[in-house]
Amino acid sequence: MKKTLAVFLLLLVATMAFGHAGEVHSYMGTVTTMHDDGSFMLKKTDGKTMHAQVAKTTTYLHADGSAANASEMKVGTRVVVKVAKDGKTALSVKMAARKE
Amino acid sequence: MRRHWLIVVAIVALILIVASIVFVRMLRYGFSAHDQPTAIETSIARTVRHWAVPADLRDAKNPVPLTAQVLADARAHFADHCAVCHGNDGKGQSGMGRQMYPKTPDMTLAATQSLSDGELFSIIENGVRLTGMPGFGSGTAESAYGSWTLVHFIRHMPKLSAEEMAEMETLNPKSPEEWRQMQEEEAFLEPEEGHHH
């Protein structure tokens, strides 16, 4: 009975914890480093830096909402990164147009 | 013969034990919307939902022709009225959807996509009892037209593009704080020539 209750409690706690996951956070900043795996370092507007990881599902957009390619992002590009769940992996990266 | 009776008694005893554990657990922890419905609950609910669809709608085809404009209007309608629970992509991963009981479904999956046009229409118009899905229909032709266009959009969900998602984000209802954040982000992403630190 104790084991059963322990399993139920574990499931309940896991469900509650999962219920709080998944909030989307948005970060504005300038790309300072591009890594070979596509991840990048970002200097946020509050002056702090963060490492944004990317996944196959990460979407890249221009500021006007049109589709962009990851290769368009360079050091110095201003971006808005939406990060979810794990607090690291970018769901979407919206980038400012660069004047040549 | 005696062996058959023993098997029957064992099955009944097992059912009683499981029912007792469930009952004791309910008394101890109560009910929570955080839980996931059991397979039995899901099966019963889907069967009853199927019965709830009026017979003349079960096999009905969408009478509204699919055009780019119809799809765009439905997408905007969905972003404004439905995405708060279903999420723009229809996967149910919204703050509201994840907390409901039952959770809002991932509408890109077969469980939803395999429903007929008429069943989807009926769910939008009449809602689903004992869930978070309200009946949005008003019995008017205008309401019916809107619901049929949403059926087109639900069919399109598995193929939703990043651009469509981005457009929908701008159409989602927002709190004053979210409006402020969106405007701040737009200003931040303005072309560099006009951007000053």
Please report the pLDDT score of residue B192 as a whole number: 63
Nearest Cα of chain B lies from the Cα of A11 at a distance, in angstroms, of 9
DSSP β-bridge partners for residue B22: none
User: Is the pLDDT score of A1 beyond 70?
Assistant: no
Domain with residues A23-95, CATH architecture: Beta Barrel (2.40)
pLDDT tens by residue, B134-168: 999 999 999 999 999 999 999 999 999 989 998 99
Please report the pLDDT score of residue A28 as a whole number: 96
Extents of the domains making up chain B? 55-174
User: Hey, are the CB atoms on B163 and A66 less than 8 Å from each other?
Assistant: yes
Contacts of B29-35 spanning 24+ positions with Cβ under 8 A? B29/A8, B29/A12, B32/A12, B32/A15, B32/B101, B33/B99, B33/B100, B33/B101, B34/A12, B34/A15, B34/A16, B34/A19, B34/B99, B34/B101, B35/A12, B35/A15, B35/B101
User: Is the pLDDT score of A21 beyond 70?
Assistant: no
> Is the Cβ–Cβ distance between B36 and B100 less than 8 Å?
no
pLDDT tens by residue, A63-82: 988 889 999 999 999 999 99
Top-confidence residue, B123 or A21: B123
The confidence band for A99, taking pLDDT boundaries of 50, 70 and 90, is low
CB within 8 Å of B140: residues ≥ 6 apart? none
**How many whole angstroms separate alpha carbon B31 and alpha carbon B20?**
16
Segments of chain B with pLDDT less than 50? 194, 196-197
Q: Is B31 on the interface with A (CB under 8 A)?
A: no
> What ipTM was predicted for this assembly?
0.72
Nearest Cα of chain B lies from the Cα of A8 at a distance, in angstroms, of 8
Does the domain spanning B55-174 belong to CATH 3.40.50.620? no
> Is the Cβ–Cβ distance between A70 and A77 less than 8 Å?
no
CB within 8 Å of B37: residues ≥ 6 apart? B45, B101, B102
The confidence band for A30, taking pLDDT boundaries of 50, 70 and 90, is very high
* pLDDT more than 70, % of chain A: 73
**Residues 119-178 (B) with a CB less than 8 A from some CB of A:** 161-163, 165-167, 170
User: Hey, are the CB atoms on B192 and A78 less than 8 Å from each other?
Assistant: yes
